[in-house]
Amino acid sequence: MSKALIVITGASSGIGAATARLLSQQGHSLLLLARRVERLEALALPNTLCRAVDVTDRAQLAAAVAEAEGRFGPVDAIVNNAGVMLLGQMAEQAPEEWKTMFDVNVHGLLNGIHAVLGGMVERKRGTVINISSVAGRKTFPNHVAYCGTKFAVHAMSENLREEVADHGVRVVTIAPGAVDTELLSHTSSEAIKAGYEAWKQEMGGVLAAEDVASAIVYAYQQPQNVCIREIVLAATRQQP
């Protein structure tokens, strides 16, 4: 018998894929969601349902959760990892990029929560893990809209934790610093990307996706009566 079902959004690469591999090794059944379903299937994990889902589509996400629960039982945790980082100077950045970030990073995260929270409250058990960023705690150059989305994640997560704590449901915020993932590649400004890469080199390298996955699993594996409210992690030499 596999362990309880866990949902991971944005699971096709980076932190999401690393978390999926680690939880699968520990015997969990998984629902993996991303737009690139072929990347999910290439992970070839047992007891795993892979679905091409855009987290901004609430009905699509809810349908995938219902399908997975029909196969594996109730969702015990969700890792809301799907996100996009489009850095830019406010006077120059296309407003469509702001909208994309808020649609995915804020509305998509809320859609993930909504798809599982009712069942968790009813069962008096569950864990919501929201992937934010150090950029949800302080500001950075070229990050105006992105910081706005991640500050929102921090605020919503803490408010939700207060709301559902008496129902036995935990809410965890994971706030990584710079991580070696595809996230930076979404930025359209080559100058900003080059500057960001130089910053990463100056600090002697950044976190691996597996480092963040280990923090996620650590928080999840605490007894249900223990809530690790927030984990902030970064490369030791990262400043700020």
Segment holding 139, helix H or strand E: none
Indicate if the pLDDT at residue 2 is higher than 90. no
C-alpha 190/C-alpha 179 separation (Å) is 19
Query: Which tokens hold the place of 211?
Result: 């480092």
pLDDT tens per residue, range 106-124 = 999 999 999 999 999 999 9
Of 146, 196, 218, 220, which is the active-site residue? Answer: 146
**196 catalytic, yes or no?**
no
Q: What is the pLDDT of residue 107?
A: 98
C-alpha 126/C-alpha 70 separation (Å) is 17
Quick check: helix, strand or coil at residue 124?
A: coil
C-alpha 66/C-alpha 185 separation (Å) is 33
Task: Yes or no: say if 133 and 175 are a contact pair by the CB < 8 Å rule.
Answer: yes
Q: What is the pLDDT of residue 145?
A: 98
Indicate if the pLDDT at residue 81 is higher than 80. yes
Which residue reads 């009566």 in tokens? Answer: 225
Indicate if the pLDDT at residue 216 is higher than 80. yes
State how far the alpha carbon of 37 is from the alpha carbons of 2, 23, 69, 228, in Å.
23, 19, 19, 31
pLDDT tens per residue, range 64-76 = 999 999 999 999 9
Q: In the chain, pLDDT over 70 holds for what percent of residues?
A: 100
pLDDT tens per residue, range 167-203 = 999 999 999 999 999 888 889 899 999 999 999 999 9
- In sequence order, what DSSP letters do the residues of 163-219 get, joined into one string? HHGGGTEEEEEEEE-SBSSSGGGG---HHHHHHHHHHHHHTT--B-HHHHHHHHHHH
Q: In the chain, pLDDT over 90 holds for what percent of residues?
A: 95
**Whole-number average pLDDT of the chain:** 97
Task: Yes or no: say if 112 and 7 are a contact pair by the CB < 8 Å rule.
Answer: yes
Q: What is the pLDDT of residue 240?
A: 84
C-alpha 175/C-alpha 31 separation (Å) is 23
Indicate if the pLDDT at residue 1 is higher than 80. no
pLDDT tens per residue, range 132-155 = 999 999 999 999 999 999 999 999
pTM for this predicted structure? 0.97
